């Protein structure tokens, strides 16, 4: 019967009601589901006033297994590589690069003491290469560890003299080698660094070879990448020559420097022995004269405590203009921080940076040395005095001044050690007139010559005679005079422009 059938079918829900279950019309199912989902999602994402309760961790693990340093530094290393300091405002990143080098130095030190941490070593290599692309050796483009390879190329315990020489400096460099090797009898090996045959032709290299034992050559283009260095017959090669040289401890000389004493003395200076880096001061000139330079130095040093050495600087403290005479630089690359600081100096001398900043803010490579080490927090030492005048006595009335074209530097016993400016009287204007200086003065007041043809004088200090130290210079000049009798082509190169 249809009616009883209907009654039956209607009775089912009732029966369920009777068993205590709640029912609702099917039409409402989607709405309820939506509310439930919405509430769950709301609960899940709502801010919680109470922190989530985290089960207590075992902090007192008796056998802690620290993750390797390589794992810890990996994200920072990646950050350094993904966000390189590549402009456009290079002047603004000298300081930050110094900070990054300080991290890199700590990692490299850790890597040196744990060579099995391969991830760490790879990160050190990759970050170094990213910061300093000149480290890519063009003769070994696939070397995965160019930094380690470069450091391994330094002969353990070696010390020597490095002279960057291009054909235009050949004559001065030849005088210098005569000076240190033949006259002063220095035993230090000499490495002449050049940038390919176009820079220093084979014929000139052969003349150096003929000067004695232990004079060898290093073509910088076979060690570091010129795409980044961009060498162009200027001062820029100096930092890279120091870096590429196979000597571990390097005396880097400008070709026109001249020594009064054996350069070996440099390695014995207390400041060098203490820090592994020794620089010399320029003339104390132009107080308050270069405000932009000072402002920039200070900005870049914002995150760096000035070193003890910097706090003694008259340039830093009293606002003089010129800090360093980079004609002689002494570095011990076996000390990791010095090596790393040298990378910063190299960076400052790469084509892009030097053209846009370094050689504009300051003069040539001069200030890049101490500034690089300072920014990387690497200790270094300076000659105690600022540059001395070297030349001749000039008396009028009862005053005596010393005037000349070259500046001189002393060792820690205040003895004349070397001079900047060749054996010529005035290298800048006359390339034929030689002069033996007779007097010098130090720690007094400069009166700068108006033009390159005018001598600069120092006034108000003790007049000192060069005589006690001059035998070496006289002997050198005698040697040069004798060279007039060697074949003409040879002497021409040596004695004329």
Ligand X SMILES: *[C@@H]1O[C@H](CO)[C@@H](O)[C@H](O)[C@H]1NC(C)=O
Rounded CA gap, 253 and 417, in Å? 13
H-helix or E-strand spanning residue 309? helix 308-311
What sign has the CA pseudo-torsion 25, 26, 31, 32?
positive
Radius of gyration (C-alpha) of the chain in whole angstroms: 35
Q: Do residues 87 and 72 make contact, with C-beta atoms less than 8 angstroms apart?
A: no
Q: Using the minimum distance from each CB to ligand X, give the nearer residue, 61 or 139.
A: 139
Rounded CA gap, 163 and 327, in Å? 10
| Binders of ligand X in range 33-92 (CB under 6 A) | none
Contact status: 147 vs ligand X (CB under 6 A): no
**Stretch of 40-48, 225-233, 336-344, 484-492 lying at the interface with ligand X (CB under 6 A):** 225-233
Rounded CA gap, 306 and 308, in Å? 7
Q: Using the minimum distance from each CB to ligand X, give the nearer residue, 154 or 370.
A: 370
**Stretch of 90-98, 116-124, 259-267, 488-496 lying at the interface with ligand X (CB under 6 A):** 116-124
Q: Using the minimum distance from each CB to ligand X, give the nearer residue, 249 or 350.
A: 350
Interface residue with ligand X among 105, 110, 111, 123 (CB under 6 A) is 123
Contact status: 119 vs ligand X (CB under 6 A): yes
**Stretch of 118-126, 203-211, 308-316, 334-342 lying at the interface with ligand X (CB under 6 A):** 118-126
Write down the H helix ranges in 61-117.
69-82, 94-113
Contact status: 420 vs ligand X (CB under 6 A): yes
Contact status: 479 vs ligand X (CB under 6 A): no
Query: Rounded to 5 degrees, what angle do the CA atoms 359, 192, 265 make?
Result: 85
Q: Do residues 127 and 111 make contact, with C-beta atoms less than 8 angstroms apart?
A: no
Residue 163, token pair as written in the block? 């002279």
Contact status: 219 vs ligand X (CB under 6 A): no
Rounded CA gap, 415 and 33, in Å? 95
Interface residue with ligand X among 196, 201, 460, 468 (CB under 6 A) is 196
Question: Count of residues for the chain?
Answer: 497
Q: At 288, phi and psi to the nearest 5?
A: 60, 20
**Stretch of 35-43, 122-130, 264-272, 395-403 lying at the interface with ligand X (CB under 6 A):** 122-130
Contact status: 366 vs ligand X (CB under 6 A): yes
Nearest distance, CB of residue 434 and ligand X, angstroms: 17
Interface residue with ligand X among 99, 126, 158, 469 (CB under 6 A) is 126
Place of tokens 């020594």: 259
Contact status: 221 vs ligand X (CB under 6 A): yes
Rounded CA gap, 278 and 323, in Å? 13
Interface residue with ligand X among 262, 351, 431, 479 (CB under 6 A) is 351
Q: Using the minimum distance from each CB to ligand X, give the nearer residue, 160 or 327.
A: 327
Q: Using the minimum distance from each CB to ligand X, give the nearer residue, 122 or 356.
A: 122
Q: Using the minimum distance from each CB to ligand X, give the nearer residue, 95 or 390.
A: 390
- Tell which residue, 258, 241, 262, 242, has the closest CA to residue 250: 242
Q: At 176, phi and psi to the nearest 5?
A: -65, -40
Interface residue with ligand X among 225, 323, 325, 401 (CB under 6 A) is 325
Residues that bind ligand X (CB under 6 A): 119, 122-123, 126, 195-196, 221, 226, 230-232, 254, 282, 325-327, 351, 363, 366, 407, 420-421
């Amino acid at each position: 019967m249809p009616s009883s059938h209907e009654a039956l079918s209607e009775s089912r829900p009732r029966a369920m009601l009777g068993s205590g279950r709640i029912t609702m019309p099917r039409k409402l199912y989607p709405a309820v589901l939506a509310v439930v989902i919405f509430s769950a999602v709301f609960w899940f994402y709502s801010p919680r006033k109470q922190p989530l309760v985290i089960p207590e961790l075992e902090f007192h693990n008796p056998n802690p297994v620290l993750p390797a340093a390589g794992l810890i530094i990996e994200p920072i290393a990646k950050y350094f590589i993904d966000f390189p300091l590549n402009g456009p405002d290079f002047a603004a990143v000298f300081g930050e690069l110094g900070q990054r080098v300080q991290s890199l130095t700590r990692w490299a030190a850790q890597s040196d003491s744990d060579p099995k941490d391969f991830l760490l070593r790879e990160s050190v290599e990759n970050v170094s290469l990213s910061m300093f692309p000149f480290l890519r050796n063009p003769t070994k483009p696939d070397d995965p560890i160019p930094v380690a390879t470069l450091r391994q190329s330094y002969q353990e315990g070696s010390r020597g003299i490095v002279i960057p020489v291009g054909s235009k400096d050949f004559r001065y460099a030849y005088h210098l080698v005569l000076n240190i090797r033949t006259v002063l009898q220095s035993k230090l090996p000499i490495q002449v660094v050049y940038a390919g045959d176009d820079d220093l032709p084979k014929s000139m290299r052969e003349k150096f070879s003929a000067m004695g034992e232990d004079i060898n050559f290093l073509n910088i283009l076979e060690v570091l990448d010129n795409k980044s260095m961009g060498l162009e017959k200027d001062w820029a090669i100096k930092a890279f020559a120091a870096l590429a040289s196979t000597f571990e401890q390097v005396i880097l000389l400008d070709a026109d420097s001249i020594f009064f004493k054996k350069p070996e003395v440099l390695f014995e200076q207390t400041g060098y022995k203490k820090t592994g880096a020794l620089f010399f001061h320029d003339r104390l000139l132009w107080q308050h004269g270069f405000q932009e330079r000072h402002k920039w130095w200070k900005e870049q040093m914002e995150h760096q405590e000035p070193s003890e050495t910097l706090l003694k600087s008259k340039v830093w403290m009293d606002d003089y203009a010129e800090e360093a005479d980079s004609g002689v630089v002494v570095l011990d690359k076996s000390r990791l921080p010095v090596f790393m600081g040298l990378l910063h100096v190299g960076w400052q001398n790469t084509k892009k940076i030097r053209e846009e900043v370094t050689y504009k803010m300051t003069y040539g490579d001069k200030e890049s040395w101490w500034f690089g080490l300072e920014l990387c927090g690497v200790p270094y030492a300076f000659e105690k005095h600022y540059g001395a005048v070297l030349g001749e006595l000039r008396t009028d009335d009862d005053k005596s001044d010393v005037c000349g074209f070259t500046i001189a530097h002393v060792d820690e016993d205040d003895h004349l050690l070397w001079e900047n400016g060749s054996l010529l009287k005035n290298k800048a204007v006359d390339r034929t007139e030689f002069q033996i200086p007779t007097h010098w003065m130090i720690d007094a007041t400069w009166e700068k010559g108006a033009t390159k043809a005018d001598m600069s004088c120092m006034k108000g200090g003790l007049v000192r005679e060069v005589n006690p130290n001059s035998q070496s210079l006289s002997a050198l000049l005698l040697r040069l005079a004798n060279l007039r009798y060697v074949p003409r082509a040879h002497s021409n190169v040596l004695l004329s422009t």
